[in-house]
């Protein structure tokens, strides 16, 4: 008759061996992180192209950092410009209009100094740029410490459409009970 302790250890050994065998099967069945698994979902058309602006400060900055002021200025102008963007501009490959602006110390526009410096060639695009600037005014006061009575800026508005790319399908992972 086998010793009781040996039977106990044999049963434990058998249990651990079976558990290891089953566990190894589960581990090998799980995907490696480098393998791709999931459903392919066709790529959705994205908003082609980009529009934006850039500033060039023509006046002396007198050592004052005007970047925060121009960022705030640009944000308010672009909020108005995007909805005014003509549909023609979205269809064309690219547009760029440069507007010269003079902003007074109190943030108001010197109206006769809001002019097209360089036309995009599309009247609607140029008009949208001018209209966005005028609608966003008056702006905040010029920064504290700036001693000039105005600043002159060139604001470039652009719209560039990227060439259409072959849409790439998107991989969406499959979520299983083991992953959770």
State whether 71 and 139 are in the same domain: yes
The pLDDT of residue 44 is: 41
Q: Does the pLDDT at position 164 exceed 50?
A: no
Give the pLDDT confidence score for residue 113 in this predicted structure. Answer: 87
The total number of residues written for the chain in this structure: 180
Q: Do residue 68 and residue 102 come from a single domain?
A: yes
Residues 72 and 153 in one domain: yes
- Predicted local confidence at residue 122, as pLDDT: 87
Percent of the chain topping pLDDT 90: 27
Tell me the C-alpha distance between 50 and 130, whole Å.
19
| pLDDT over 70 at 177, yes or no | no
Record the pTM: 0.60
> Which one is predicted more confidently, 171 or 64?
64
Residue 167 falls inside a structural domain: no
| 38 and 54 belong to one structural domain | no
Residues 9 and 88 in one domain: no
Residues 118, 136, single domain; the answer is yes
Residue 102: the pLDDT is: 95
Q: What does the pLDDT look like over 93-145, one tens digit per residue?
A: 678 899 999 999 999 998 788 999 999 888 988 999 999 999 999 999 999 88
CB hemisphere CA count around 65 (13 angstroms): 3
Across the chain, what does the average pLDDT equal? Answer: 75
Residue 37 confidence class, pLDDT cut points 50, 70, 90:
very low
pLDDT (0 to 100) of residue 46: 40
- Residue 14: give the domain boundaries: 4-42
């Amino acid at each position: 008759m086998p010793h009781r302790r040996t039977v106990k250890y044999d049963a434990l050994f058998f249990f651990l061996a079976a558990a290891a065998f089953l566990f190894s099967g589960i581990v090998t069945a799980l995907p490696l992180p480098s393998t791709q698994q999931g459903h392919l979902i066709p790529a959705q058309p994205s908003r082609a192209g980009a529009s934006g602006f850039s500033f060039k400060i023509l006046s002396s900055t007198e050592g004052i950092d005007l970047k925060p002021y121009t960022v705030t200025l640009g944000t308010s102008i672009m909020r108005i410009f995007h909805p005014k963007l003509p549909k023609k501009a979205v269809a064309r490959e690219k547009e760029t209009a440069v507007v010269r602006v003079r902003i007074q110390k109190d943030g108001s526009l010197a109206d006769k100094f809001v002019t097209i410096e360089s036309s995009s060639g599309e009247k609607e695009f140029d008009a949208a740029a001018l209209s966005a600037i005028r609608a966003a005014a008056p702006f905040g006061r010029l920064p504290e410490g700036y001693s000039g009575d105005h600043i002159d800026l060139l604001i470039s508005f652009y719209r560039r459409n990227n060439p259409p790319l072959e849409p790439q399908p998107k991989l969406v992972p499959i979520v299983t009970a083991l992953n959770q």
